Chains A and B, each alone.
Chain A
Amino acid sequence: MTILDLLLPAFVASLILTGIHAYLGVHVVERGVIFVDLSLAQIAALGTTVAYLAGYDLHSTAAYLFSLAFTFLGAVIFALSRVHRSTRIPQEAVIGIVYAVSAAVAILVMSKATQETEHLKEMLVGNVLSVTWPELARTAVLYAAVGVFHYFCRERFLNISMHEEEAVRRGYNIRFWDFLFYVSFGFVVTSSVAIAGVLLVFCFLIVPSVAAMLFAERLGPRLALGWTMGALVSAGGVALSFFLDLPTGATIVATFGAALLLLAVVRWAFRR
């Protein structure tokens, strides 16, 4: 086995993750729900722990269904908690509360289980190096399905995320479409966190989208910029982790940070 056999799946995984996350990231940043992925990942992890307490194996289909059911619950909460006009409670507050409470409840559930729950703590860490080709194929199919769904409903999703008044004027059922958005988002995040871990997924989601906003306003250029940056930085991060002999996931995250800083400096120099 050569280093290429080991790094290639990690690199392809990064490309697949960039594909869907750079797009979803536009929605997330526009809506200002930056930490929604952490919150949904945590609630999905809670679902897995509850399945475990109910006697199912951690890597069984039943455990996966539990985590999906909990993700749906999270989607309902986020769809219902869109900025509350009469109280002005920001949605980010609800997201934070969901994160903290589900993390705490997961700890409580684990303390009641009798064994082998300690490594649940590592569920959200992930190791992008240990991804396998069949896993990647399944993930790619799932993301493609979510992508197609979003493509066909793009008018509603984009209007609700980017032009809320317009969406209201057209009389969309915003709560319903928000629910669908968070469910599809939850599908994606649950499997991407299992592959790459919370830190890396957060980066794929937010950084390309923010970087693109430095240079473009319209959706098309933003997506193109986001995808280009995501692909280049992933390749750079994977290569750096090899040459400097560093853990791959954390190296990609740090590379994303450095690239964003560089782009911000470029913009400042360019616009001066």
Chain B
Amino acid sequence: MKPIRCLSAVLLLLAALPGAAHANGRKLRVVTSTQDLASIADAIGRDHVSTLPLAKGYQDPHFVDAKPSFVLQLSRADLLIVAGLDLEVGYLPPLIDQSRNRKIRPGAPGYLDASVGCEVLGRPTQQITRAMGDVHPQGNPHYWTDPENGRRIARSVAARLAQLDPAAAGAYAGNLAAFEATLTRKTAEWEAKMKPYAGREVVTFHDSWPNFAKRFKLNVAGHVEPKPGIPPSPAHTLEIINLIKARKIPLILVEPYFDLKTPKFIAGKTGAVVLVFYPSVGGTPAIKDYFALFDTNLDAFVAAMKGRG
């Protein structure tokens, strides 16, 4: 028995090595690229982890101004969770290099791409060129706006935390079960809330909502800015205006970090309503966690649709 016990102790120690510091009671340091991922990691890790999001929910996650503290936080991180699909390609790779933290390099156990295993929409089926604007060749990176993808993210986070910190694996599994139970209950609630609007058409500012629309059975009829970052041409603007008028589309959904001038202009021409729709936790102080993200957006949606048929 003794050699086996010894061996298993060594194995345990080896397995715990990536989180070696954790063995002496320190919390696992988890850095995430967005606040959504931090919220999910918090729910799974609870008091075993400390989480820190780099981009705030009110910022455009494609363009984040790097601060010196980012490098410091990355250098101390035990686990880095990214949304992937090139969402962070504009700022994160050089920061990982500068942090000189081998644990969180892509491919290392301390690097988790949350999109793996999630349902990703909008993978281009044709050759990508710069002429298409700022597109994501690997698919639409706003996949967490579907709660089922939130569940998948939570599962990968729980598995990875258990791998880095086997001592607390039981706690992570328990927290995951609790998170999933709440999510199942809330999702039923959310779907019931959106049921009266199934099949309704909306216009969105950017192509950020395919997962959300699919889950809650909305049809995205068009985008105000067809190519992200390039102002719309007169013909396209006219097309959207006439589309909204012809099909009586009630809402234009706009992320909080875009200027409302063009959407408001189109709304003024058509009678549609501009609704600020939050793609991330922290988009407004009321959205404190992943569940509040849907609560806030769906309540705003229902309120805006009241009396508009």
Cross-chain contact B233 with A1 (CB below 8 angstroms)? no
Roughly how many angstroms separate A131 CA and B269 CA in the complex, as a whole number?
Answer: 11
Roughly how many angstroms separate A19 CA and B235 CA in the complex, as a whole number?
Answer: 27
Q: Which of B223-267 contact A (CB under 8 A)?
A: 230-238, 241-242, 245, 256-262, 264-266
Q: Known contacts A107-B65, A247-B230; is A115 also within 8 Å of B237 by CB? A: no
The answer, yes or no, to whether A173 is at the interface (CB within 8 Å) is: no
Partner of A6, one of B59, B241, B264: B241
Q: Known contacts A114-B58, A132-B265; is A6 also within 8 Å of B238 by CB? A: yes
Closest beta carbon of chain A to B234's beta carbon, Å: 5
Cross-chain contact A242 with B261 (CB below 8 angstroms)? no
Closest beta carbon of chain B to A131's beta carbon, Å: 8
Q: Known contacts A1-B242, A245-B235; is A115 also within 8 Å of B283 by CB? A: yes
Roughly how many angstroms separate A123 CA and B268 CA in the complex, as a whole number?
Answer: 20
Closest residue on chain A to residue B278 by CB atoms: A115
CB-CB under 8 A from A119, the residues of chain B are 256-260
Q: Mark A6-18, 1 if CB is under 8 A from B, else 0.
A: 1100100000000
The answer, yes or no, to whether A25 is at the interface (CB within 8 Å) is: no
The answer, yes or no, to whether A117 is at the interface (CB within 8 Å) is: yes
Closest residue on chain B to residue A126 by CB atoms: B261
The answer, yes or no, to whether B98 is at the interface (CB within 8 Å) is: no
Partner of A114, one of B60, B235, B285: B285
Cross-chain contact B241 with A248 (CB below 8 angstroms)? no
Partner of B256, one of A10, A115, A131, A246: A115
CB-CB under 8 A from B260, the residues of chain A are 119
The answer, yes or no, to whether A155 is at the interface (CB within 8 Å) is: no
CB-CB under 8 A from A107, the residues of chain B are 65
Closest residue on chain B to residue A7 by CB atoms: B234
Roughly how many angstroms separate A6 CA and B284 CA in the complex, as a whole number?
Answer: 34
Cross-chain contact A127 with B65 (CB below 8 angstroms)? no
CB-CB under 8 A from B60, the residues of chain A are 118
Q: Mark A241-262, 1 if CB is under 8 A from B, else 0.
A: 1100111111000000000000
Interface centre among B59, B232, B259, B260, by most A CB within 10 Å?
Answer: B259
Q: Which of A227-245 contact B (CB under 8 A)?
A: 238, 241-242, 245
Q: Which of A193-247 contact B (CB under 8 A)?
A: 238, 241-242, 245-247
Q: Known contacts A115-B256, A122-B258; is A129 also within 8 Å of B65 by CB? A: no
Interface residues on B, range: 20 to 34
CB-CB under 8 A from B58, the residues of chain A are 114-118
Cross-chain contact B233 with A246 (CB below 8 angstroms)? yes
Partner of B269, one of A1, A7, A242, A249: A1
Cross-chain contact A1 with B258 (CB below 8 angstroms)? no
Q: Known contacts A115-B284, A116-B58; is A3 also within 8 Å of B234 by CB? A: yes
CB-CB under 8 A from A118, the residues of chain B are 58-60, 256-258
Roughly how many angstroms separate A126 CA and B231 CA in the complex, as a whole number?
Answer: 9
Cross-chain contact A3 with B238 (CB below 8 angstroms)? yes
CB-CB under 8 A from B266, the residues of chain A are 130
Closest beta carbon of chain A to B275's beta carbon, Å: 14
The answer, yes or no, to whether A111 is at the interface (CB within 8 Å) is: yes
Interface centre among B59, B233, B236, by most A CB within 10 Å?
Answer: B233
Closest beta carbon of chain B to A179's beta carbon, Å: 31
Partner of B257, one of A114, A116, A123: A116
CB-CB under 8 A from B285, the residues of chain A are 114-115
CB-CB under 8 A from A3, the residues of chain B are 234-235, 238
Roughly how many angstroms separate A6 CA and B265 CA in the complex, as a whole number?
Answer: 11
The answer, yes or no, to whether A76 is at the interface (CB within 8 Å) is: no
Closest residue on chain A to residue B263 by CB atoms: A130
CB-CB under 8 A from B65, the residues of chain A are 107, 111
Closest beta carbon of chain B to A118's beta carbon, Å: 3
Roughly how many angstroms separate A114 CA and B264 CA in the complex, as a whole number?
Answer: 23
Closest beta carbon of chain A to B57's beta carbon, Å: 8
CB-CB under 8 A from A116, the residues of chain B are 58, 256-257, 284
CB-CB under 8 A from B241, the residues of chain A are 1, 6
22 contacts between A and B (CB under 8 A): A1-B238, A1-B242, A2-B238, A107-B65, A114-B58, A115-B58, A115-B284, A116-B284, A118-B59, A118-B257, A119-B257, A122-B258, A122-B261, A126-B261, A130-B265, A131-B265, A132-B265, A245-B236, A246-B233, A247-B230, A247-B233, A248-B233
Known pairs A127-B265, A245-B234; list 9 more (Cβ under 8 Å).
A6-B237, A6-B238, A115-B283, A116-B284, A122-B258, A125-B231, A129-B262, A245-B235, A248-B231
B contact residues vs A (CB 8 Å cutoff) = 58-60, 65, 67, 230-238, 241-242, 245, 256-262, 264-266, 268-269, 283-285
The 4 closest A-B pairs by CB, nearest first: A118-B257, A130-B265, A122-B259, A115-B58
